[in-house]
Amino acid sequence: MAVELLIDNKNGNVWDLSSIAESISWTTSRVGKPASLEFKIVNDGITQDKQFTINNGDIVRFRFDGTNVFYGYVFKLGQNADQEISVSAYDQVRYLLNKDTYSFKNMETGDIIKRIAADFQLKVGRIDSTGYRIPKLNADAQTLLDIIEQANTLTLGRAGQFFVFFDDFGALSLRRVRDFNAEFYIGDGSLLTGYDYSEDIDSDTYNRIKLYRDDKQTGKHTPYQTPVNPNMGRWGILQLYQSIDDDLNAAQINEMLAQLLALKNREQRALKLDAVGDIRVRAGMYLPIVIKSLGIANLVMVEEVKHSFDGAEHTMSITLKVI
């Protein structure tokens, strides 16, 4: 297994830290966070070169067995009494934690991504068409990432399919999740070394969906909600309450109610796996899982994965969303 870790000072100097970097970890999350690369180097050897520097803002490139893994920028540096230098780097998504105000009309999620990326001088790569144009999206003093994720959520509610947004080695990408599958499975007899499983109705379960819109001219508040269902008796009322676009007609509203109820009106099952590492696993993809003792033998969405590299050993810890 070959690790390649380069630091680009942006001044013509590129330093190869592959042989001296320790405790390398690469973490990706499906929503809410940039991908990160963390590692340590001993303040010795190449670091004693008078020209060697590592600064916040430097470019970090990481490849594993010839595969492009991470392209990002140093955001945090530290040093301890043992002369170990710790480095934390994030990909372009970190810059989407900036806040701003936007108003979009009749645009796909990909169009919104391209507009924001252009405004903040970020690179864009593959953008899959969602097939759904969001009639209107207004965001006031929100993080850019929240705006993009809101567009993704609206698309899910109307188009009924998942899209994952991430930085693909230095280029912002939007991919259709169903086309982003692994060619192997994890579980009984394959890569799995341990697991932790739980069920809850506390994190993202709703058995009543209530949508509303306000008419700014008349001041009228119009609610729309799903009917009573058996899970209200089982769990009590767990209500999702959110506004909707003025342009939606009655049929579209009913469709949105049905889709949200189908998605949210169930127990949320969480599964955390420890496994032998495979660099193809990243957050946002579907991963085939086979664990007979849990009755699981299907595709499961990866919420977060942390790859750890320690010498010749490559392991990963995976958090999954089981439906």
> Residue ranges of the domains in the chain?
3-90, 95-178, 181-201+268-322, 208-264
Angle, helices 250-264/144-159, rounded to nearest 10 degrees: 100
| CATH T-level assignment (fold) for domain 95-178 | Phage tail protein beta-alpha-beta fold (3.55.50)
Question: Tokens in use for 11?
Answer: 């001044």
Amino acid at 229: N
Most distant CA pair in the chain, distance: 73
Query: Residue 211's CB: how many other CB atoms inside 10 A?
Result: 21
59-64 vs 67-79, strand pairing mode: antiparallel
Q: What is the pTM of this model?
A: 0.83
Question: Tokens in use for 227?
Answer: 């009917």
Q: If one looks up domain 3-90 in CATH, what number appears?
A: 2.30.300.10
The CATH superfamily assigned to 181-201+268-322 is Bacteriophage T4, Gp27, baseplate hub, domain 3 (2.40.30.150)
Distant-in-sequence, close-in-space partners of 98: CB < 8 Å, separation ≥ 6: 120, 143, 144
Fold match flag (95-178 vs 181-201+268-322): no
Phi, psi for 167 (deg, rounded to 5)? -95, 120
Write the burial class of residue 260 (CB in 10 Å: 0-12 exposed, 13-18 middle, 19+ buried). buried
Q: How does pLDDT run along the chain (323 residues), one tens digit per residue?
A: 689 999 999 988 999 999 899 999 999 999 999 999 999 998 766 666 778 889 999 999 999 999 999 999 999 999 998 889 999 999 999 999 999 999 999 999 999 999 999 999 999 999 999 999 999 999 999 999 999 999 998 898 777 788 999 999 999 999 998 887 788 999 999 999 999 999 999 989 999 999 998 877 777 888 999 999 999 999 999 999 998 877 788 899 999 999 999 989 999 888 999 999 999 999 999 999 999 999 999 999 899 999 999 988 999 999 998 86
